[in-house]
Amino acid sequence: MSAFPSILEGIKDLELGHIKALLRRTNDLKSGQPPRLPLQKTLAVATSFLENSTRTKLSFAMAIMRIGGYHIDFHAESSSLKKGESLEQTLLTLKYQGVDICIIRTNESHLLDQFREYPPIKIINGGDGINQHPTQALLDLYTLQDHFGGLKNIKGKTISIVGDCIHSRVTHSLTDLLPQFGVNVLLCGPDFFIPEEMPAGVNRVTSLDEAIEQSDAIYLLRVQTERHDKSISDKLKNYQQEWGLTFDRFRKHSKVLPVFHPGPANIGIEVEQDIVNSEIWMAHKQVQNSVFVRMAIIEAMINNEDHHIGSQYKKIPGDISERIRNT
Ligand code: CP
C-alpha cells in the first residue's frame, strides 16, 4: 500500500487498504485507544472554511482537540486573501508558521487540483463545490457498516441516494466509495437532479416508492438551492409531495428503513419531523462517528512522513544554478 496521501481531495486519492485501515483505526479511537502521533511533535491543524459549515468544521475541531492538537481557525474574510494574496501563498504561510494540515472548504469545485504536484501544506478537502466531500463519505461508510454489523454485512445491500444528486459532492464521493464494498447504489430524484451519465456500478430508480421497495437504507439529500439557477427553482414546487420522505410512505410498503442524511436537513421538505424524531434517523449517529473518523484521517495524514511539502519553493531554475556555480 502507498503512503497516505498529503492531499485528500476525493475518495479516488485513497486505496482500498487506506480506507479499511481508517475504518479499523476509527474503531480503535472510538473505543478509547490513544492517538498515534509522531514523538516530540506539536500538532497544529488549521480549518479554512470559505463556505458555511456546522458539522464538518466543528467535528474537525473536536477531532483535533481529542487527538491532542491545536486548532487554528483561519478566517478568510479577515485574512490577507482579501488584500489579493493567493491561496497558495496563504497555505505556505501557514506551513512555515508550523501548521501541519489545513482543512479547506470552498464553493469552487476542483480548487485543490492546483496543489497536487507541489503541495504547499498537507490538505484535507472539507467539501469543494459540487465535486467531492471525502470525509463525509468515509463517516457515512463507517456508520452504514456499523449499523449493519460490520463491513462484511454491507456487501449486497442497496442504498438509495434521494434528491439533488447532481449538485451533491457527498453523492459524488459516495458513488466512488460504496461500490468498492459491494454496496449497490441507486440514485433517485427528479430528472434534473440526476446525472445523464451514471457513475460506474450505480443505477437509477425513478420514484421514491421504487427506491423504498428496492433498498436496505435511504440516504436523503438537501435540495441545494444555493447551487441552482432559476430554471431549477421553478420546478421545485411539488418537491415535498413527490420526494419528501414520510412514515406514510413507509406504511405503503409495510417497511421501515434506516434514513441517513449528511445534514443540514430541511425538515418539512426532504424529510418530515416525525422521522427526524425517530430511531430510524441516522444523522445523529453520523455526526457522532464523524469525530472519530476525522481523528483517524488526521492521524493517518500526520504520520505519512511526506518531507516534500513546500520544498519546491527552494528550487531555482537550473540555468541560473549553473551560472552561479561557474562564477
Ligand atoms: N455534512 C456537512 O458537510 O455539513 P456542514 O455543511 O454543516 O459541514
Domains and CATH numbers, the chain: 7-132+287-308 (3.40.50.1370), 134-285 (3.40.50.1370)
What's the pTM? 0.95
| Residue pLDDT, tens place only, 149-191 | 999 999 999 999 999 999 999 999 999 999 999 999 999 999 9
End-to-end CA distance of the chain: 46
Closest CA to 24 of 133, 142, 137: 142
Closest CA to 195 of 174, 164, 166: 166
- CA-derived radius of gyration, the chain: 21
What is the CA angle 306-124-298, rounded to 5? Answer: 70
Name residues whose C-beta falls within 8 Å of residue 173's C-beta, 6 or more positions apart in sequence: 10, 11, 132, 133, 134, 136, 137
Percent of the chain with pLDDT over 90: 85
- State which of 51, 56, 106, 287 you would mutate to test the pocket of ligand 1, scoring each by most atoms of that ligand within 8 A of its C-beta: 56
CB 142 within 8 A of CB 179: no
Find the range with the poorest average confidence among 29-43, 68-82, 221-235, 272-286: 221-235
How far is CA 11 from each of CA 15, 55, 115, 304, 320, rounded to the nearest angstrom? 8, 19, 17, 17, 40
Q: Is 271 helix (H, G, I), strand (E, B) or coil?
A: strand
How far is CA 222 from each of CA 102, 119, 243, 245, 275, rounded to the nearest angstrom? 27, 33, 11, 12, 15
pLDDT at 7 over 80: yes
C-alpha 221 – ligand 1 centre gap (Å)? 11
pLDDT at 313 over 70: no
| Residue pLDDT, tens place only, 190-248 | 999 999 999 988 999 999 999 999 999 999 999 887 777 777 877 888 899 999 999 99
Q: From its phi and psi, is residue 124 left (phi > 0), alpha (psi between -120 and 50) or beta?
A: beta
Percent of the chain with pLDDT over 70: 97
Mean pLDDT of 253-274: 97
Q: How confident is the model at residue 29 (pLDDT cuts 50, 70, 90)?
A: very high
List the residue whose alpha carbon is closest to atom 1 of ligand 1. Answer: 262
C-alpha 248 – ligand 1 centre gap (Å)? 28
- pLDDT number for residue 312: 66
The continuous run of DSSP H or E covering 21 comes out as helix 16-30
For residue 61, report the phi and psi dihedrals to the nearest 5 degrees.
-60, -45
C-alpha 263 – ligand 1 centre gap (Å)? 6
Mean predicted lDDT score pLDDT of the chain: 94
Q: How confident is the model at residue 327 (pLDDT cuts 50, 70, 90)?
A: low
Sheet with 70-74: list strands edge to edge: 7-8, 122-128, 101-106, 44-49, 70-74
Of 227 and 126, the one with more pLDDT: 126
> CA-to-CA distance for 32 and 269, rounded, in angstroms?
38
For residue 84, report the phi and psi dihedrals to the nearest 5 degrees.
105, 0
Name residues whose C-beta falls within 8 Å of residue 123's C-beta, 6 or more positions apart in sequence: 6, 7, 8, 9, 91, 101, 102, 103, 104, 112, 115
C-alpha cell belonging to residue 231: 430554471
pLDDT at 323 over 80: no
- Measured from CB, residues less than 6 Å from any atom of ligand 1 are 53-56, 127, 136, 262-264
- pLDDT number for residue 316: 72
pLDDT at 314 over 70: no
Q: How confident is the model at residue 319 (pLDDT cuts 50, 70, 90)?
A: confident
Which atom in ligand 1 lies closest to the alpha carbon of residue 133?
3
List the residue whose alpha carbon is closest to atom 3 of ligand 1. Answer: 56
Query: How many CB atoms lie under 10 A from the CB of residue 244?
Result: 21
